[in-house]
Amino acid sequence: MYNIDFIKNSLQRYYEATIDNRISPNDTMYDQHYFSVGRSAIEVIALALMASQLSSVSKVLDIPCGHGRVLRHLKHFFPEAEFHACDLDKDGVAFCESSFGAKPLISREELAEVDFGSLYDIIWVGSLFTHTAQDVTRRWTAHLAKFLSPKGIVVATVHGRWCQHVHKIAPYMSEDNWQRVLDGFTKTGYGYWDYRREESHSFIEGNYGISLTKSHSILRILEEIPGIRIFLYIERAWDDHQDVVAYGHPAYDLPWPTMVK
């Protein structure tokens, strides 16, 4: 594993760092798990790095960035990198710019309409595809792949099969709509249903809900994206809750040198 020294040194710097504990009063994600979730993101990104061909990281996109739950940790994992923070939540993006020095990017409800204007070594997608229907996930995973550097990776999280059990003690949504999610999950491996209006965010006008996916449904979507390979899929990897998948460059079908005439 030729990038192990890079990963080891990055983790050592991170573990020695003091994480910024400033919390925006508008941060709806803040709870008792806030900082452990951020730390866990670093650990799963490190796993994805080990599977990848990256040996340096110069540019990182955090989407959706919120108010920096993960970004405040990423800054210490890759202290030399340039960070871009993207979200529909304009207040969150502004907080990430002023507090963590990230370049602000306001997203759009149709992510495929966003031109990021950069190529990223890492795109961290924490809990976005946990809220999207299958056709949206298919469209957006492919769109993000267009903005990867030659060895760049997307590290994303999804609600895997463990989340059936999580819902029983910490419901994701109303029970009647959850049963609709389970119906799709059972029949096709990908269940989704919209939140009720009062369960959603005020800054989101369109479709937004809860998805529940089997690993094969996510892998099938990624297999349709040209020019990438799938580096890993781990269940319950992010804070012992959401599944983590990593995909990106170089392509799975890149020929061996001996195959090129």
User: What's the pLDDT score for residue 2?
Assistant: 75
The H-or-E segment that residue 167 falls in is: helix 163-169
Residue 36, in any domain of the structure: no
| Domain, as residue range, for 70 | 4-18+43-259
User: What's the pLDDT score for residue 41?
Assistant: 98
* Alpha carbons 127 and 243: distance in angstroms, whole number: 10
Model confidence at 178: pLDDT above 90: yes
| Cβ 20 vs Cβ 84: under 8 Å | no
Residue 240, in any domain of the structure: yes
Span 39-58, average pLDDT: 97
What pLDDT digit, counting tens, does each position of 56-102 carry? 999 999 999 999 999 999 999 999 999 999 999 999 999 999 999 99
Residue 211, in any domain of the structure: yes
Looking at the structure of the chain, the number of domains it has is: 1
| Cβ 247 vs Cβ 153: under 8 Å | yes
Residue 137, in any domain of the structure: yes
Q: Band the pLDDT of 202: cuts 50, 70, 90.
A: low
User: What's the pLDDT score for residue 199?
Assistant: 55
User: What's the pLDDT score for residue 196?
Assistant: 72
Residue 145, in any domain of the structure: yes
Span 118-124, average pLDDT: 98
Q: How many helices and strands, by DSSP H and E, does the chain display?
A: 8, 9
User: What's the pLDDT score for residue 164?
Assistant: 97
Span 222-240, average pLDDT: 98
Model confidence at 201: pLDDT above 70: no
Residue 24, in any domain of the structure: no
Residue 98, in any domain of the structure: yes
User: What's the pLDDT score for residue 11?
Assistant: 97
Residue 160, in any domain of the structure: yes
Average pLDDT, the chain: 95
User: What's the pLDDT score for residue 33?
Assistant: 95
CATH at residue 209: 3.40.50.150
For residue 25, cis peptide bond before it (omega within 30 degrees of 0): no
* Alpha carbons 48 and 183: distance in angstroms, whole number: 31
User: What's the pLDDT score for residue 206?
Assistant: 57
Residue 114 CB neighbour total at 10 angstroms: 17
* Alpha carbons 144 and 247: distance in angstroms, whole number: 10
